[in-house]
């Protein structure tokens, strides 16, 4: 994944605008490349090309990164259980969520929560 995906960009960059759009969709629980492209006034294919060119990643990678950032926020700042958080993000089981989180964050969700408490 490109370095640019790891950085928080403001709304003055393409990454920042796309990231803000995806983040809003993640919070509502309904993420799609079609609705992102529509909100940005472009086609899906153009959005894909621009993401690849400017971010070095595809839409799914960016969505997963933003989901994990949101999961970290919830683990850090809410009393929601790991099961509740995994369900919120549409994982079929807490184990699948934990595996994805561990891959993205380098530690299990409960270890992350303990480290920031």
Q: In sequence order, which residues have a C-beta less than 8 Å from that of residue 99 and are 6 or more positions away?
A: none
**Which pLDDT score, from 0 to 100, does residue 7 have?**
45
**Which pLDDT score, from 0 to 100, does residue 11 have?**
62
**Which pLDDT score, from 0 to 100, does residue 79 have?**
87
Provide the 3-class DSSP secondary structure of residue 56. coil
Residuewise pLDDT in 10s, the chain (117 residues): 444 444 445 567 888 899 999 999 988 888 999 999 999 999 999 999 999 998 888 999 999 889 999 999 999 988 899 999 998 888 889 999 999 999 999 999 999 999 986
Q: Is 67 exposed, middle or buried (0-12, 13-18, 19+ CB in 10 A)?
A: buried
Q: Mind listing the domains of the chain with CATH numbers? A: 3-116 (1.10.10.60)
């Amino acid at each position: 994944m490109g370095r640019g995906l790891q950085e928080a960009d403001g709304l003055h960059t393409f990454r920042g605008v796309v990231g803000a759009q995806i983040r809003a969709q993640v919070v509502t629980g309904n993420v799609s490349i079609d609705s992102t492209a529509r909100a940005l006034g472009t086609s899906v294919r153009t959005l894909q090309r621009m993401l690849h060119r400017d971010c070095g990643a595809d839409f799914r990678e960016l969505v997963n990164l933003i989901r994990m950032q949101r999961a970290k926020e919830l683990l850090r700042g809410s009393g929601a259980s790991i099961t509740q958080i995994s369900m919120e993000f549409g994982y079929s089981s807490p184990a699948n969520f934990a595996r994805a989180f561990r891959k993205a964050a380098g530690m299990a969700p409960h270890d992350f929560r303990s480290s920031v408490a």
